[in-house]
């Protein structure tokens, strides 16, 4: 009896070690897109002037309509204030925006996921979004209710990008060998990426729903791991000056930092003119952002933009 | 033109990538703003003091004051480094009207020909100069008129809030100075905006209506958040003071707002960024008024 149980224990330990080993190996060599050298950054830029030259009004409207963005906002009951603010502000500018909640809430309609775990929420939301909307939208934007997004700037950013290619864009962070999009800044997936993601969801070894890795990763890291298996790599989004357009902090925070770090060039040195997201906003700040982005402006500055977006119906704060 | 450059990311390695050099991808057309800059010349003077130069006035200087045709910083003490004009008064809330009188006299004496309109603001006022030019474009500086956030008590035609900033036409400035020369106006009280308002009325300078073509206010005595988010109809003082009906929510602030008050240094940069930099690409705003609005030197109803 004793020898059997000690074999059993040895077997368990070996098995456990093997698991760790395989996991480490798995992390170090995966995906097609990896190039020769180890340290790598993927940066992706906004279109420039040459891309957006003379189009007729009709062509501009058609082009604008061809970029269709579906917004997923993951919410929990504790986020009610922010949920309301997102509903009343920027999400009105998505082609469609839906709120995916951990549990049902009386005040608002939502797609109820019946789980409190972020990673599981994210999986379920992406799965449902793909199932329902794969033929209707070509870009999928996921955000938390503390994030403010300027969807028009997102569409401009995506202007020349082919959604049938595997794009996974946002504010990236490198964690060891893994580069992932920080969920706080919003996550953009092309339909191709979402398609691949839906497939890998069915692979419980590479992309498990629960406890696949020894140390539990945050949901945005887990997403990156799963996508990497399908050959999809994270890309950091920047404007033509190299400034991030997806921000994990609020305008106020970025300005405060700039006042300390480069006081001679506070605005010019920090935030992009075509910023897409900011994060860490309280509900009131969302409304002020809405006014600041869509309404407050300096008279007499006109722009020849390649896209045309009209204000949404039934709204007065934009 | 392409070129490669290296740049260090937040992580500890460098890499290179290629990108097209910064031609403005937006193709910005500034001709209207440039035209207004030369046709509607505004001299701004900012009420400040020695202890506020580095903490407040510096950030005004770095943001909106750059867009004035002439910008002056008025202090009790001359400071050639900043630079500030020295008004030879003491500091303090009870000196505000003296400072104002001295400041306008200084401007009248040294800068009258350099501008058409003369704006007074505090070092915690944020001003959008381009919107002020739009507002003033259809008025003549030879008319005796001044604009700001109009308050109703104490003065029959109302008076303008000091903190929200107010702007005098050239003729209004002449009459202010003339009023003191003839002693029609004197230093009646330390309450700067009220005292100035009384002088304006005595000198036949009209209190103008600064609201936009949809009746929304452009000069604001509070920061944007208070106007947009609070029900100021229920405030204890505000309904007593506000000359025009108080509109709520999005209607409380014009798209072409001119000023906000009680703005922190950090918020100066935030508002500069929001009003002049960040914009939604391709977006057609709901409110797109023409440059020529009706002549509003005549009083409107209400």
Closest to A297 in 3D by CA, of B294, B287, B188, B58: B287
pLDDT for the residue numbered A99: 98
pLDDT digits (tens, 9 = 90+) for A213-249: 545 789 999 999 999 999 999 999 999 999 999 999 9
**Confidence bin at A212 (pLDDT 50/70/90):** low
Q: What is the pLDDT of residue A39?
A: 43
Q: Does A296 contact B at CB distance below 8 Å? A: yes
Which residue is closest to A292 within chain B, CA to CA?
Answer: B274
Provide the pLDDT confidence category of residue B296 given band limits of 50, 70 and 90: very low
pLDDT beyond 90 at B267: yes
Cα–Cα nearest to A274, from A298, A240, A314 = A240
As a whole number, mean pLDDT of residues A155-165 equals 95
Of B86-100, B177-191, B284-298, the range with the lowest mean pLDDT is B284-298
CA-based max dimension of chain B:
73
CA distance B101 to chain A (A): 30
- Over residues A53-80, mean pLDDT: 92
Residue A18: its pLDDT value, please? 59
Cβ of A15 under 8 Å from any chain B Cβ? no
pLDDT in tens, A26-42: 444 443 333 333 445 67
Whole-number Å distance between alpha carbons of A187 and A170 = 5
pLDDT tens digits, A88-99: 999 999 999 999
Closest by CA position to B210, among listed B155, B144, B145: B145
Confidence of residue B90 (pLDDT cuts 50, 70, 90): confident
Q: How far is A305 from chain B (nearest CA, A)?
A: 5
Contacts with A, B 225-284, CB within 8 Å: 225, 228-229, 249-251, 253, 255-257, 265-267, 269-284
Residues ≥6 apart with Cβ < 8 Å to B172: B118, B144, B145, B146, B200, B205
pLDDT value for B93: 82
Q: Tell whether the model's pLDDT for residue B288 goes beyond 70.
A: yes
From the CA of B38, how many Å to the nearest CA of chain A? 13
Which pLDDT value is given to residue A282?
98
**B220 or B90: which carries more pLDDT confidence?**
B220
Q: What is the pLDDT of residue B7?
A: 41
Which residue, among B5, B9, B20, B25, would best test binding to A if mutated, counting the most A CBs under 10 Å from its CB? B25
Residue B45 has pLDDT above 50, yes or no: yes
User: How confident is the model over A107-144, as pLDDT tens digits?
Assistant: 999 999 999 999 999 999 999 999 999 999 999 999 99
Give residue-wise pLDDT tens across range B172-218: 999 999 999 999 999 988 899 999 999 999 999 999 999 999 999 99
- Beta partners for residue A238, in sequence order: A45, A244
Predicted confidence (pLDDT) at residue B112 exceeds the cutoff of 90: yes
| B287 at interface of A, judged by CB pairs closer than 8 A | yes
Interface of B with A in 196-215 (CB under 8 A): none
Lowest mean pLDDT among A215-224, B58-67, B129-138, B198-207: A215-224
Paired residues of A279 in beta bridges: A147
Distance between A154 CA and the closest CA of chain B, angstroms = 9
The reported pTM is 0.87
- Segment B145-151 shows an average pLDDT of 98
Q: Comparing C-alpha atoms, which of B51, B273, B208, B294 is closest to residue A266? A: B273
- Pick from B254, B271, B275, B273: which is nearest to B126 by CA? B271
Q: Inform me whether the pLDDT recorded for B13 exceeds 90.
A: no
A35: Cβ contacts below 8 Å, ≥ 6 apart: none
Q: Higher confidence at residue A51 or residue B7?
A: A51
pLDDT on residue A30: 40
> Two tokens at A138?
């070509």
Say if residue B117's pLDDT is above 70: yes
């Amino acid at each position: 009896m004793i020898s059997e149980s000690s074999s059993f224990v040895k077997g368990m330990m070996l098995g456990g070690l093997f698991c760790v080993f395989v996991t480490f190996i798995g992390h170090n060599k995966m995906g097609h897109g990896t190039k020769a050298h180890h340290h790598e950054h993927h940066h992706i830029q906004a279109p420039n002037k040459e891309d957006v030259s003379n189009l007729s009004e009709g062509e501009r409207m058609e082009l604008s309509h061809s970029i269709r963005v579906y917004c997923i906002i993951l919410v929990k009951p504790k986020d009610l204030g922010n949920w309301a603010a997102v509903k009343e502000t920027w999400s009105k500018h998505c082609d469609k925006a839906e709120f995916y909640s951990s549990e049902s809430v009386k005040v608002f309609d939502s797609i109820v996921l019946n789980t409190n775990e972020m990673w599981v929420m994210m999986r379920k939301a992406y799965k449902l979004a793909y199932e329902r909307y794969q033929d209707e939208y070509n870009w999928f934007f996921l955000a938390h209710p503390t994030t403010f997004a300027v969807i028009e700037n997102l569409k401009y950013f995506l202007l020349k990008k082919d959604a049938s290619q595997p794009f996974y864009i946002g504010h990236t962070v490198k964690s060891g060998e893994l580069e992932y999009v920080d969920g706080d800044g919003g996550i953009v997936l092309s339909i191709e990426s979402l398609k691949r993601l839906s497939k890998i969801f069915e692979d419980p070894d590479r992309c498990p729903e629960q406890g696949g890795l020894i140390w539990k990763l945050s949901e945005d890291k887990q997403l990156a791991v799963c996508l990497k298996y399908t050959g999809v790599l994270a890309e950091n989004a920047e404007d033509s000056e190299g400034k991030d357009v997806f921000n994990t902090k609020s305008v106020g925070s970025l300005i405060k930092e700039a006042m300390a770090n480069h006081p001679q060039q506070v605005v010019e040195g920090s935030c992009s003119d075509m910023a897409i997201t900011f994060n860490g906003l309280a509900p009131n700040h969302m409304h002020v952002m809405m006014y600041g982005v869509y309404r407050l402006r300096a008279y007499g500055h006109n722009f020849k933009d390649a896209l045309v977006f009209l204000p949404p119906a039934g709204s007065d704060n934009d | 033109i392409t070129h490669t450059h290296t740049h260090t990311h937040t992580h500890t390695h460098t890499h290179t990538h290629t990108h097209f050099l910064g031609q403005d991808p937006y193709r910005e057309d500034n001709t209207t703003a440039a035209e207004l800059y030369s046709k509607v010349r505004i001299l701004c003077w900012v009420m400040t003091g020695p202890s506020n130069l580095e903490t407040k006035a510096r950030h005004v200087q770095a943001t909106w004051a750059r867009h004035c045709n002439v910008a002056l910083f008025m202090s009790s003490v001359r400071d050639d480094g900043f630079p500030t004009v020295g008004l030879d008064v003491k500091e303090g809330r009870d000196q505000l009207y003296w400072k104002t009188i001295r400041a306008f006299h200084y401007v009248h004496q040294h800068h009258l020909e350099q501008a058409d309109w003369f704006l007074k603001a505090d070092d915690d006022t944020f001003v959008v100069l381009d919107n002020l030019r739009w507002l003033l474009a259809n008025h003549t500086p030879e008319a005796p008129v001044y604009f700001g956030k109009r308050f109703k008590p104490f003065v029959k035609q109302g008076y303008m809030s000091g903190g929200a900033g107010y702007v005098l036409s050239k003729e209004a400035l002449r009459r202010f100075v003339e009023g003191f020369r003839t002693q029609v106006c004197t230093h009646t009280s330390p309450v700067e905006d009220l005292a100035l308002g009384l002088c304006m009325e005595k000198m036949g300078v009209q209190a103008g209506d600064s609201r936009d073509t949809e009746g929304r206010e452009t000069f604001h005595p509070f920061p944007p958040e208070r106007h947009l988010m609070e029900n100021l109809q229920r405030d204890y003082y505000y309904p007593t003071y506000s000359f025009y009906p108080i509109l709520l929510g999005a209607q409380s602030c014009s798209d072409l707002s001119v000023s906000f008050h009680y703005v922190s240094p950090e918020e100066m940069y935030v508002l500069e960024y929001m009003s002049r930099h960040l914009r939604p690409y391709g977006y057609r705003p709901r409110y797109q008024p023409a440059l020529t609005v009706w002549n509003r030197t005549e009083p409107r109803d209400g």
